[in-house]
Amino acid sequence: DTGVSQNPRHKITKRGQNVTFRCDPISEHNRLYWYRQTLGQGPEFLTYFQNEAQLEKSRLLSDRFSAERPKGSFSTLEIQRTEQGDSAMYLCASSSTGYANTGELFFGEGSRLTVL
């Protein structure tokens, strides 16, 4: 098990372009989370899935953001018509739902987005 994997690790794009990030969680983990983190701030909750169902989405999240987890395994986060304010580190995390689950989130290394 190699942990949570995210790619690309870095993405530079021009304002107005669309970008997509992929997250592969730890294989036995049912829950998958997306967060956004900017310098000096904690991770900001965006959305989470349990299996393929998207259970909650932040009310602060623009309609330009969409996430999917079609088969309950990997997930994608797409940002349409990017804006400079979207520049941030996008973190994916996964957790298990088993009996011994503590609620711990296991984070990937993140995908850094720079919008020019």
Partner 1 sequence: QKEVEQNSGPLSVPEGAIASLNCTYSDRGSQSFFWYRQYSGKSPELIMFIYSNGDKEDGRFTAQLNKASQYVSLLIRDSQPSDSATYLCAVVPNTGGFKTIFGAGTRLFVKA
Q: Which residues bind partner 1 (CB under 8 A)?
A: 31, 33, 35, 40-45, 48, 50, 55-56, 91, 95, 102-105, 107-110
Closer CB to partner 1, 34 or 86, in the complex? 34
DSSP at 41: S
Token pair 């259970």 is found at 55
- Judge if the upstream peptide bond of residue 43 is cis by omega within 30 degrees of 0: no
Cβ 47 to partner 1, closest distance in Å? 9
Closer CB to partner 1, 9 or 15, in the complex? 9
> In this structure, are residues 20 and 78 in contact, taking their beta carbons and an 8 Å threshold?
yes
Closer CB to partner 1, 14 or 42, in the complex? 42
Cβ 104 to partner 1, closest distance in Å? 5
Cβ 45 to partner 1, closest distance in Å? 5
Cα-based distances in Å from 69 to 24, 35, 74, 101: 10, 15, 6, 21
